[in-house]
């Protein structure tokens, strides 16, 4: 991104303070993340960004996008707008029109990050491709992603998150996708939406801003989507997963239209994510052989079914960014098919499930026992109060222990005392349980709390 304050004034209908030829080359809304040359966007929220302008400038910011009614320190170069949040979004649309990439938008209750990573890997074989970093998938993260793409970007792959009705409408209208994808409808956010049907309705909002004639991809085995009455004209389906899938802990392989595909990760459920990515690639002119090559070595975002090594040699499968019952059962099913020896399960609460939360946690018992773990650690009140007694009732001899969310240090100590180099540890929880702290301790901090 290379924009002058004069450009930003036009994009946001703001007023320039200082030299309008000052040029910025990046954007940040967190003063701790500012890099030299950035435009610091002072958002008004729980922490008013205007209080951190001086810090941002000291870290190398060249200018500020500020909101009316706030005093700016010194003679800081700035564009002052009526609303800095709206200004950020308007600026992203301005830059999007300048670069004019093809836009691929991806959402889903599970698998959207993996599908984003797969899609970007495929498209980068032919195009200059930029994708959503980490979890920048909301009303703030999405415009920052747009503004972070290089000027040479030909395809922009955007992940879109959702936790309330209307959110995907806003994001889709902001990005104006050429291709939109829904990976699946699960139980995520049942607390707010009550039913899967309501979740499906909200997910369909991703097509709101779809360009005329744009491609809309949905899973073939989801009636809530396939049978919807408001699908765009150019709607196609992907899946279901082929029958001949070969699975191991590190690779999942299958054949499609005569081409052998293999992805460097566990689980036939990820084949469906790959099929969505393949259909995006086909729509943009890539052949199956090229796409198979891309998927064989694609980079997966951190903490999404990430295979790691503990400091003592134990194998860790870290999937601690998000969790819902469907996704958790699918991984446990994959582990049971692989008959993993010395399996240790660390399962944390699956959040935002509302009134159905207790029953959905207890309902994991069959999948847990089918995986034949030697030890189970459950973290959080929903796991401890619901899954733990269900496991005790069904398998009295199973080594299963419960921990509250504020007992991660104790869990870390217990695991370090008991884990061997032969163990395989699967960790899964909603991000709010913060099992990533445990993963960090097991991989890099083994000398502590031992």
387 occurs within a structural domain: yes
Q: Is 329 annotated as a binding residue?
A: no
| Distances from the Cα of 448 to the Cα of 318, 409, 410, 419, 442, angstroms | 20, 10, 12, 15, 10
- Quickly tell me which residue has 């049907």 as its tokens: 197
| 225 and 338, same domain (yes or no) | no
Residue 245 lies in a domain: yes
Whether residue 173 sits in one domain with residue 82: no
Annotated ligand binding at 237? The verdict is: no
Q: Which one of 87, 110, 143 terminates a domain?
A: 87
Overall domain count for the chain: 3
Looking at the structure, do residues 190 and 117 belong to the same domain, yes or no? yes
Kindly state whether residue 450 falls inside one of the protein's structural domains.
Answer: no
Cβ proximity of 39 and 66 under 8 Å: no
- C-alpha atoms less than 13 angstroms from C-alpha of 49 in its C-beta half-sphere: 24
Residue indicated by tokens 């509302």: 354
349 and 412 fall within a common domain: yes
Burial of 445 (0-12, 13-18, 19+ CB in 10 A): middle
pTM check: above 0.85: yes
Query: Where are the alpha helices (H) located in 150-258, listed in sequence order?
Result: 167-175, 190-193, 196-203, 223-226
In whole angstroms, give the CA distance from residue 107 to residue 185: 10
Task: Among 268, 295, 322, identify where a domain stops.
Answer: 295
Judge if 270 and 160 occupy the same domain.
yes
User: Domain check: are 81 and 130 in the same one?
Assistant: no
Tell me, what's the pLDDT at 190? 67
Query: Does 39 lie in the same domain as 170?
Result: no
Q: 199 and 275: one domain?
A: yes
Structure tokens belonging to residue 357: 């939360």
114 annotated to a ligand binding site: yes
Q: Compute mean pLDDT per 10 residues along the chain, 450 residues long, and list them.
A: 97 96 96 96 93 96 96 92 97 98 95 94 98 92 97 98 93 98 83 85 97 97 94 95 88 93 90 97 98 93 80 92 87 84 94 91 96 96 97 95 96 94 94 93 70
Q: Which two tokens stand for residue 450?
A: 């031992």
CATH number at residue 352: 3.90.190.20
Whether residues 220 and 112 share a domain: the answer is yes
CB neighbourhood size of 74 (10 A):
7
Q: Please indicate, yes or no, whether residues 253 and 105 belong to a single structural domain of this protein.
A: yes
**111 among the known binding-site residues?**
yes
Structural domain span for residue 282: 100-295
> Residue 57 maps to which CATH number?
3.40.1390.10
Q: Look at strands 129-131 and 343-348 and give their pairing.
A: unpaired
**C-alpha of 83 from chain center:** 28
> How many CB atoms are closer than 10 A to CB 97?
10
Q: Rounded CA gap, 214 and 296, in Å?
A: 28
Q: Is 108 annotated as a binding residue?
A: yes
Are both 118 and 79 inside the same structural domain? no
Q: Is 449 among the domain residues?
A: no
Q: What token pair was written down for 395?
A: 């398998």
112 is in an annotated binding site: yes
Which phi and psi (to 5°) does residue 369 adopt? -70, -35
Q: How far is CA 30 from CA 72, 133, 385, in A?
A: 17, 15, 38
- 427 shares a domain with 354: yes
């Amino acid at each position: 991104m290379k924009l002058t304050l004069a450009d930003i004034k036009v994009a946001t209908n703001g007023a320039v303070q200082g030299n309008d030829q000052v040029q910025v080359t990046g954007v940040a809304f967190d003063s701790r993340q500012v890099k030299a040359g950035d435009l610091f966007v002072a958002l008004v929220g729980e922490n008013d960004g205007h209080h951190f302008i001086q810090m941002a400038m000291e870290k190398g910011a060249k200018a500020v996008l500020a909101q009316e009614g706030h005093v700016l320190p010194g003679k800081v170069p700035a564009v002052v707008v009526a609303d800095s949040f709206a200004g950020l979004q308007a600026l992203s649309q301005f830059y999007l029109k300048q670069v004019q990439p093809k836009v691929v938008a991806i959402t889903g209750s599970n698998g959207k990050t993996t599908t984003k990573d797969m899609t970007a890997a495929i498209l980068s074989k032919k195009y200059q491709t930029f994708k959503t970093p980490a979890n920048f998938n909301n009303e703030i993260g999405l415009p920052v992603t747009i503004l972070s793409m290089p000027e040479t970007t030909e395809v922009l792959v955007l992940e879109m998150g959702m936790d309330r009705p209307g959110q995907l409408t806003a994001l889709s209208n902001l990005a104006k996708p050429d291709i939109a994808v829904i990976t699946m409808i699960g139980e995520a956010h049942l607390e707010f939406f009550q039913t899967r049907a309501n979740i499906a309705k909200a997910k369909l909002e991703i097509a709101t801003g779809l360009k005329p004639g744009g491609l809309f991809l949905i899973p073939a085995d989801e009636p809530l989507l396939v049978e919807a009455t408001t699908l765009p004209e150019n709607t196609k389906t992907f899946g279901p997963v082929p029958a001949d899938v070969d699975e191991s802990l590190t690779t999942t392989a299958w054949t499609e239209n005569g081409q052998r595909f293999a992805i460097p990760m566990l689980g036939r459920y990820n084949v469906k994510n790959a099929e969505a990515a393949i259909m995006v690639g086909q729509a943009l002119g890539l052949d199956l052989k090229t796409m198979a090559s891309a998927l064989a070595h694609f980079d997966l975002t951190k903490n999404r079914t990430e295979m790691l090594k503990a400091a003592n040699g134990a194998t860790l499968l870290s999937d601690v960014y998000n969790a819902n019952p469907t996704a958790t059962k699918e991984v446990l099913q994959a582990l049971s098919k692989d008959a993993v020896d010395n399996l240790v399960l660390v399962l944390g609460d699956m959040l935002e499930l509302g009134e159905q939360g207790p029953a959905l946690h207890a309902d994991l018992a069959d999948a847990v026992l089918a995986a034949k773990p030697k030890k189970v650690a459950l973290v959080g009140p929903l796991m401890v109060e619901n899954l733990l007694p269900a496991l005790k009732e069904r398998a009295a001899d199973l080594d299963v222990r419960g921990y509250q969310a504020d007992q991660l240090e104790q869990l870390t100590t217990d695991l370090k005392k008991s884990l061997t180099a032969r163990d395989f540890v699967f960790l899964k929880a909603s991000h709010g349980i913060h099992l990533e702290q445990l993963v960090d301790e097991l991989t890099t901090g083994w000398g502590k709390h031992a």
